Structure 1
Amino acid sequence: MPPTRKAARRPRRDRASVGKPSDRRAPSPATIATNRLNELAEALDITLSELAARIEALEHLLVEGRLCTLDDLIRSREVVDRRENDR
């Protein structure tokens, strides 16, 4: 009689984990919101610094091209500051 093959066994599952939720849980809505706010704050910091650098470059070109003086730029900044304080 030819030898018979044994049926392949499936690995046993730990009985303690059967029917119980895993340790990994979905993050709470508050955690998701906090993470999103942190991402937005970082993106805003990067955007603001890039914008400030571009404004400084434009101011440099305006003064270098003699389209305005440094005093003109200072006065324009003061006007913007006053408008922001009035809000």
Structure 2
Amino acid sequence: MAFGLDDDDRQPLLAIGEIKWGERMGLAHLDRLHRIRALLTAQNRFGADRARLACFSGAGFDDDLIEAARQNENIVLITAADLYRP
């Protein structure tokens, strides 16, 4: 989870993520992040309803997850190359 700081010194939840090194990530990983966000939203965690969903993978992503990210700017896919790009 990643938190920010707003002008009222509140710490909104900005992102919820999952990391896999040797496994291609798919929609099941995204579904788990959706469930976590729904639980945090139900607990009235500040910013949870707008938190981005981030998938980090060293092995890549399946086509369905890539398409889901293309259709929704709140889904972020990050590869190892993205992390180590100059």
- Give the TM-score normalised by structure 2: 0.30
Larger Rg: 1
- Give the TM-score normalised by structure 1: 0.30
Q: Which has the higher contact order (CA 8 A, sep 6+)?
A: 2
Q: Which has the higher strand share?
A: 2
Q: Which has the higher helix share?
A: 1
